[in-house]
Amino acid sequence: MASVEISALRKLYGDVVALSDINITIPSGSFYTLLGPSGCGKTTLLRTIAGFHSQNSGSIKVDGASIESLPAYRRDVGMVFQDYAIFPHLSVRDNVAFGLKQRKVGSADIARRVKDVLEVVQLGSFADRMPHELSGGQQQRVGLARAIVIEPKVLLMDEPLSNLDAKLRVDLRAELRRIQRELGITTIYVTHDQEEALAMSDTVCVMYGGVIQQATSPLEIYLKPANRFVASFVGANNFLSVGRDGGSAALRSGGADVSAMLPGSDAAVACAIRPEALRVVPGQAAADPASIAIPANLREVSFIGREMEVFATTETGETLKAVARPDPAVVDLPEGSPVTFTAPRSDLLFFEDNETGKRIA
């Protein structure tokens, strides 16, 4: 196990800033996920840590020792790639043993370590199979076994589940987390899948435009996003405009007074409401003092088993989405029917109304 500390890391491609003053501290043994859309810098950061890219400035330390000047093969990190990257002409056993042979480890030690790690990834009975005889999930486990058999201080994983089908991804992410906890290895994981990040991580680091937007626990990221980008990228959110008239402020849709919930500022404000916080009532309904009520016209109801998704348009043309337990009174409503969305005031979040506007309440 090893801690990782990244300070003032900066990476340029010509005039393009790929990474801007990245500062990260990763405790020993933790599972740290870099989350963000394509082009946000997460893979560039991972590959810079691995030594495949060189930074323009800044430092990378593992257990307090600087590694930024070391070539990739001397950084004592294991890497699991998106495309498995296993040798098709070698058996599972020989694929896993490859890195140990390169390090001139003795044959008896190689045999022991390969056997042990194949048991950890639950491939002990597949040692003599060839890669083409394995499923995608099994091939990815071979890649994981090859990365951890060398006993690296840090394990790096670059979207390792993205090529798998949905059910296998869910199953294998649980396995990856089990293995990581069992070994206690410090892991840095890259994904664009928010559900994957929330389910697996000790810390989620959301990136956008080469900048860290927020890095904290999955629960904190979801319930208290630092800015509008994080609120929109991690989970779904409804955003409604807030208008001001003198010292008062109200939602443009429905007119709910939110003055007491906002600081005294004239900046444009957006209100965010998670779909699961919204309740849908057929027809017109009034809110109690602890809630807001937003009238709308029904657009669509999608019944998907354990829940329903309800889409409607407000009087100002904004679209709302609610996710709730199936309600026959709502599921059977025709398109265009009047409905009211209600939500507890305690579930409202407010942001400066721009792409990365900070949370203000």
pLDDT in tens, 293-319: 999 999 999 998 899 999 999 999 999
- Whether 210 and 240 map to the same domain: the answer is no
Q: What are the pLDDT digits (tens) for 334-352?
A: 999 999 999 999 999 999 9
Give CA separation, 83 vs 60, 79, 146, 157, in Å.
26, 12, 14, 11
**Are residues 161 and 240 located together in one domain of the fold?**
no
pLDDT at residue 195, as a whole number: 94
Instruction: Sheet containing 308-314: give its strands across.
Output: 279-282, 338-344, 291-303, 308-314, 319-324
Name the more confident of 252 and 8. 8
Output the CA–CA distances (angstroms, integers) from residue 244 to 90, 257, 267, in the order listed. Answer: 68, 10, 9
Residue 231 has pLDDT above 90, yes or no: yes
* Whether pLDDT at 169 is above 90: no
Condensed to tens digits (0 to 9), the pLDDT of residues 15-45 reads: 999 999 999 999 999 999 999 999 999 999 9
Looking at the fold, whether 199 and 333 belong to one and the same domain comes out as no
Considering the domain boundaries, does residue 357 fall inside one? no
Q: Are residues 162 and 86 in the same domain?
A: yes
Tell me: pLDDT of 84 over 90: no
* Per-residue pLDDT band at 189 (split at 50, 70, 90): very high
- Reported as a single tens digit per residue, the pLDDT across 113-146 is 999 999 999 899 999 999 999 998 899 899 999 9
292 lies in which domain range? 236-352
Q: Which residue has the tokens 């265009």?
A: 336
Residue 360 resides in a domain: no
Identify whether 244 is part of a domain: yes
For the chain, the domain total comes to 2
For residue 285, give the CATH number of its domain: 2.40.50.140
